Amino acid sequence: MRRIVCDSLCGYCKTAVMQDDELVELIVEKREKKLMQGSIFVGKIKRILPSKFMFIDLGDEKNAFLYLNDRREERLYRKNEKTGKNELCVKQGDDITVRVEKEDTAIKGAAVTSNISVAGEYCVLLPFEKKVGVSKKIDGNEKREHLKRIGEDILEGRYGLIMRTKCENADDEEIKNDITGLVEKYEEIERKSRYSLAPCEIYHDMSDGEKAMRDFIQGDDDEIIINDKDEYERIKNSGKYNNIRYYDDAIPIFERYGIKKQIDKALNKKVWLDCGGFIIIEQTEACSVIDVNTGKFTGGDHEKTVFKVNEEAASEIAKQIRLRNLSGMIIVDFIDMKSGKNIKALEEKMREEVRADRTRTTVIGMTELGLMQITRRKTRKPLAESILCDCPMCRGSGKIGNDELTADKMRREVIGIFSQTVCGCVEVHAGKELINAFEGTDGEHRKEIEEKFSKKIITKITEHRSGNRYEIKATDR
């Protein structure tokens, strides 16, 4: 059974997607988010760089950026008949209609494209293409040809279309209505783009939480539970879902359905497997690295033991990639195997596991060094970036200076106070281990500074200060 649980009581809306009580996806978004992925804007071109980047004002704090690839952004290019080369036909100051592909991050503006598309429940309309395609996840040539004919008969070559996986179990009439609705939406977007003053939003797409409802809720057994009354009424009145419930119990909704514990697990670097092995997940700006270890699991046959751990790890890795919303390049260091048959079986296992992911995920395969490469399209922020911030102590490195390094820094601060002020005494407050490191054996470091400046140092152990936290106060005593 599928269940979607929405916690919308604060400034953020958290949407948990559950499959048989297991958390498979968590979406965290601001309730009043402006640059929604999929939304369409008329923007103003601010700068065009020689490096083929265009910066566009969409009315947000950070300018959006568009990569000028003449194949992908062919609408922005015209062929020069004299030179035979494609040349950019827009300039700084022009208005441009774009769709948000990737949301903004802490350091980058939103990524946009001029290649407009409009997504519906069953299909995606591609206004600047002519072909009708069918999702690769739909099996059977007969079914695929039938769906393709439906799209071609309605569009008559005016637009292109992608038939989504959900078409496989949908009625023909539902699909036809979806296509007709998408055409009407796009023609309204096109009309608005002609007279709207930039920067201006001309089409606001669904929130990611609503898209999850659209994609996951299928049968009457599936349910949606919401703890915000207004949001509950809005979704209920849309008439799209039969089994929707308002939650108003005293117990927080995520605790009631066991979601909080599963979120905590998704934020840990180490994830244990049922077999006793574990995986370590490290995220960086450029890529994510996942290491697989046998841990507590042992067996008689080494190759069988390793394959079992790797196979279970593949299932867990696919879940964690989706839950943590990892994207870009993902490198998995599975435990080395000698059998070519097992390596191939592991690759197929990984491909099978990522099929359930709504976001396009590609298993490239093993490198010569035995590392599996996976790519996943980036659409929104990783889970960790959405709900965590950098530690003020380590500044995001995950490490802090040891006691000796911190104590040396403290001594230099005390020397600075004594040499640059008239203060005759300082108080040093820190934890026991740090105070011991600061003073040195039998207080030798403290005494050396006191004798050099003929001033007094008072050390005070404060149990509430841990790690490398300390405080130095200058006094007149």
Give 434: exposed, middle or buried? Use CB within 10 Å, 0-12, 13-18, 19+: buried
Distance CA 46, CA 471 (A): 47
The answer to whether residues 191 and 69 belong to one domain is yes
pLDDT score of 70 more than 70: no
pLDDT at 30 over 80: no
Per mean pLDDT, which range of 47-51, 203-207, 400-404 is the poorest?
A: 400-404
Total domains present in the chain: 4
Q: Do 128 and 216 lie in a common domain? A: no
The phi, psi pair for 177, rounded to 5°, reads -65, -35
Parent domain of 127 = 40-203
Mean pLDDT of 28-48: 85
Do 276 and 313 fall within a single domain?
yes
Q: What 3-state class would DSSP assign to 159?
A: coil
Beta strand extents in 103-150 (DSSP E only): 111-113, 118-119, 123-126, 132-134
pLDDT reading at 184 higher than 90: yes
Q: Whose CA is closest to 1, among 165, 166, 241, 224?
A: 224
Are 61 and 193 in the same domain?
Answer: yes
Q: Nearest-CA neighbor of 111 among 159, 39, 12? A: 39
From its phi and psi, is residue 20 left (phi > 0), alpha (psi between -120 and 50) or beta? left
Contacts 24+ apart (CB under 8 A), 63-70: 63/109, 64/35, 64/98, 64/100, 64/104, 64/109, 64/110, 64/111, 64/112, 65/108, 65/109, 65/110, 65/111, 65/112, 66/98, 66/111, 66/112, 66/113, 66/114, 67/111
Amino acid residing at 445? H
Question: For residue 392, is it within any domain?
Answer: no
User: Are residues 86 and 199 both part of a single domain?
Assistant: yes
Q: What is the pLDDT of residue 266?
A: 84
Please tell me whether residues 191 and 216 are part of one structural domain: no
pLDDT of the residue at 6: 92
At 46 the pLDDT is 95
State mean pLDDT over 152-175: 91
User: Is 146 among the domain residues?
Assistant: yes
Same domain for 416 and 370, yes or no, is no
Distance CA 111, CA 104 (A): 7
- Strand ranges of the sheet holding 244-246, from the earlier edge strand across to the other edge: 22-30, 12-19, 2-7, 223-226, 244-246
Helix H or strand E segment including 145? helix 141-155
Q: Mark whether 185 and 100 lie in a shared domain.
A: yes
Q: Of the ranges 52-61, 284-293, 294-303, 450-459, which one carries the lowest mean pLDDT score?
A: 294-303
**pLDDT greater than 70 at residue 117:** yes
Same domain? For 308 and 379 the reply is: yes
d(CA 474, CA 245): 60
Task: pLDDT band for 450, please (50, 70, 90 cuts).
Answer: very high
Two tokens, residue 121: 């429940």
HSE, side-chain direction, 13 A CA sphere, residue 438? 29
Report residue 33's pLDDT band, with 50, 70 and 90 as the boundaries.
low
Rg of the chain in Å (alpha carbons): 29
At residue 23, φ and ψ (nearest 5 deg) are: -75, 120
Whether 395 is covered by a domain: the verdict is no
Q: Given 203, 219, 242, which residue is the final one in a domain?
A: 203
Model pLDDT, residue 103: 82
pLDDT at 32: 67
Calpha distance 183→189 (Å, rounded): 10
Q: Is residue 396 scored above 80 in pLDDT? A: no
For 11-25, 183-197, 305-319, which range has the lowest pLDDT when averaged over its residues?
11-25
Specify whether 53 is located in the same domain as 188.
yes
291 against 212, higher pLDDT? 291
Query: Does position 50 have pLDDT exceeding 80, yes or no?
Result: yes
Q: What is the pTM of this model?
A: 0.73
**CB-CB contact of 403 with 434 (8 Å):** yes
If asked whether residues 83 and 150 sit together in one domain, one would say yes
Give 405's pLDDT tier (boundaries 50, 70, 90).
confident
pLDDT over 70 for what percent of the chain?
96
| Environment class of 23 (CB within 10 Å of its CB; exposed 0-12, middle 13-18, buried 19+) | buried
Pairing between β-strand 64-67 and β-strand 53-57 as defined by DSSP bridges: antiparallel
> Looking at 387, 414, 442, which one is the last position of a domain?
387
